[in-house]
Structure 1
């Protein structure tokens, strides 16, 4: 009797799981599941303690759901990726594994890990790998010259054309293995890794699917109109579930099509649905990029000349930005939201990233690393792509002369200061007018504020950034 092992990584679900589905096709096979924690590797990748806690909570749910289908989930821990080939080989020998099934991951270290595993197991175990975390596999969406797109809009058009031609369909949950009697499974001991409360986001595949359905049925219609206002509960907040693979992008597209059936064929039919579909395709774009340009996984900018920008070195400014004490209320509210929840509204991610890399002229990689250390939805490709976009160093990024004015952003997208009052309570008593720039609003009567003065003057900081980028581009940086 064949014994199939499904190696779970960032794909913690039963529905629409390509590796699990393939492992369960043979009704005579015994099916086992495995998760291996790698704490030292997580530390090297700056995994947020909240994400570690979120991951473990989902593993508990996954273990129970698999057990109900006669599939035991085994848990092991090794320090880092280098230890995985030998650990997997030993387990395959002990459990008499004949076939290994897993879904691919795309960052460079993960690709190298998987190649080492395949090389180690190939003589004795048949290995099956799948593209699962994307609507379209890396390398599938290319220009006529068969190269990766460097601009999002033509990438989106090409991706939509392929999705129209062959719409992806989610796979069902495998049927219970009725003839299989699971062996006692290892207890999910706490990770040898720091954790932090992640209960703001409920765990489990059922909770994720309920949130997806609620968003598509109740919120997506107004998504384009409301998504930029951080005081409103107007975004999906599904990114933590997509990051750990508790949801698949195919499930998201199917749920979207249920309320906007022609979204792939007539994309102008619903502005809200189109806007959210664009977000899913930006996720695709950034993941395709790190495969086509692996130097992005090695702390390199996509636009080579931007590595010559003369970044400032100022530990006090960096710490003030991290703690939400810059003197710019919207920036500070956003950073405090991040530190408290491990999540930040998408527009605010752009605002605070622009502020760090342009107004403070601090190296964008400092912000990228800090975000990964805090985000419950920390995803390397999306985080790197977002930071390089804001810092004007990335593929199809904002031009270097575009800087978000944090005060103007605050006035436009938090006009009554509701979001600021929630996260910067020391400003709560200010008027709707003064709360966006506490020390710069003329004619206001106020008591002494327990709030810092702005770190920099926006106009002067803007000019400094333009000068630094222009110098780097001309070769004088």
Structure 2
């Protein structure tokens, strides 16, 4: 009887799982494996809330697979570098004819899979699971896209012509087995606000598409409102696929999804941003190595002031919208997207601190940490990335707060020491004993930012 295995990575689901479906069609007996790399997680200081979320997701995956008669083996490989040897030993132990996995597109993951392919003597079957394969689309001259808008337009045309099909759950491979449990691997912080069961995540998707997607464009920038899908943690671990999101969106919104300025079309655009940053990370691997997408901006004279960085990180800058955003991140492990832009702009354009410090802090804190999207967002904020807008886009943190949290409902949720203030005073607090003064003058900081980039041309 032939036996194959499915190697789960960032795709912890059974529905719409191309590698799992292929494995079930190919063999009589199927196993599943997930390799823990706690040393790697410690090196990169993976957020405690993300560790807990990952462990819960693995337990749920084991339960789903068990109903199909597939046992999930959770193997401690120690470090990312040890995966070829660990996978080879696993394949020998169970006499596997093949190992199926989804192709990953970051440079280190590509090198890992090449090493694993050699260790398995060609038995690793890599299957593309992308919504948009980074090699599928290019500009008319054959070069990869560097700007989001033309990329997104091309993607819409591409997907409209060949709308992605979601796969059903594979057929049962045998009697149910007892699901395995993932061990604790490091400090954890409760992640129970984020669902991991298939039913709960799909219900979350259906509710958003049916009830809130229509108003997404109008509501998405207001952190006090429940205007976003909050599906980013599930997408980051692959508990749900972008194809499932797009299919449900079309089922609820119909042809509106192709209209970029509609609510559903606007959310579709957010799915395409994820694909765009993967496209960039694949074609321009320097961004994975800590380099700026625009090489000349690596010469920006960033500051490395630990005191100012700590004030930003702890939410003690004296700018209420920035402080509320950073406290939300610290308390919940998540941050609203508009606030990610505001807080990142403040670190880079007001404090002039290297964007890589902020990028690292987000990766170490966010429950939905995703390398390509996080890197792309930080480089966008720092004006070192792909954005077509030049370096003089600098957010004013006070006016951003006034515009997107005018009555301070969000600010007061996380900065309650300002609850006696309202109106303009809430966004520009007077001197107070129990709230810090502004650590920087935005008007002065803006001029310095302009000079930092203008000096690159001198």
Same fold (TM over 0.5): yes
Q: 1:443 matched to which residue of 2?
A: none
Of 242, 254, 273, which residue of structure 2 is paired with 1:282? 273
> Aligned runs of 1:272-351 on 2, under 5 Å?
272-351=263-342
Counterpart contact for 1:427–1:449, Cα < 8 Å: no
Partner residue of 2:10?
A: 10
Query: Are 2:410 and 1:419 aligned?
Result: yes
Task: Name the CA distance, whole Å, in 2 between partners of 1:181 and 1:104.
Answer: 28
Partner of 1:445: none
C-alpha change, 1:355 and 1:397, in structure 2 (3 Å) is: farther
Correspondence list, 1:9-158, <5 A: 9-26=9-26, 29-122=28-121, 126-132=123-129, 134-158=130-154
Q: SS where residue 124 of structure 2 aligns?
A: strand
- Residue 182 of structure 2 is aligned to residue 188 of structure 1: yes
Aligned to 2:447: 463
SS at match of 1:100: strand
- Unmatched 5+ stretches in structure 2: none
Counterpart position of 1:444: none
8 A Cα contact 2:72 2:180, kept in partner: yes
Report which stretch shifted further, 143-152 or 391-400.
Answer: 391-400
**Residue 389 in 1 paired to residue 380 in 2?**
yes
1:188-337 equivalence runs, <5 A = 188-191=182-185, 193-263=186-256, 266-267=258-259, 271-337=262-328
- The answer as to whether partners of 1:324 and 1:334 remain within 8 angstroms in 2 is yes
Structure 1 contact 230–414 (Cα < 8 Å) conserved: yes
What number of residue pairs does the alignment pair up?
458
Q: Distance in 2 between matches of 1:53 and 1:104?
A: 25
Q: Report the Cα offset of residue 98 of structure 1.
A: 0.6
**CA–CA distance in structure 1, aligned partners of residues 311 and 391 of structure 2:** 24
State the distance in 1 between where 2:421 and 2:167 align: 53
Deviation at 1:187, TM superposition (A): 4.0
Unaligned runs of 5+ in 1: 441-447
d(CA) in 2 for partners of 1:439, 1:108: 49
Residues 351-403 of structure 1: CA deviation (Å, up to 9, x unaligned)? 00000000000000000000000000000000000000010000125421110
After TM superposition, the score normalised by the length of structure 2 is: 0.97
- Give the corresponding residue for 2:428: 437
Q: In the aligned structure 2, how far is the partner of 1:258 from the partner of 1:120?
A: 44
Aligned-partner Cα distance in 1 for 2:412–2:107: 42
1:372 to 2:352 alignment:
no
Distance in 2, Cα, partners of 1:397 & 1:345: 23
Q: 1:218 to 1:185 in 2, by over 3 A?
A: closer
Tell me which moved more, 105-114 or 168-177.
Answer: 105-114
Question: 2: CA distance between counterparts of 1:181 and 1:427?
Answer: 56
Tell whether the 8 Å contact from 2:59 to 2:180 is kept in structure 1 after alignment. Answer: no
Q: TM-score scaled by structure 1?
A: 0.93
Measure, in 1, the Cα distance between the counterparts of 2:105 and 2:9: 12
Using the TM superposition, give the Cα deviation of residue 110 of structure 1 relative to its aligned residue in structure 2, in angstroms.
Answer: 1.5
CA contact (8 A) 2:208 2:229 kept: yes
Q: Deviations over 1:217-246 (max 9, x none)?
A: 010011111110000011000000000000
Q: CA–CA distance in 1 between the matches of 2:184 and 2:28?
A: 31
CA RMSD of aligned residues (A): 1.5
- Residue aligned with 1:24, SS: helix
* 8 Å CA contact retained: 2:292, 2:298: yes
- Structure-2 change in CA distance of 1:347 and 1:334 (3 Å): same
Deviations 1:246-272 (A, max 9, x none): 0100000001101221145x416x711
Distance 1:364 1:292 in 2: 21
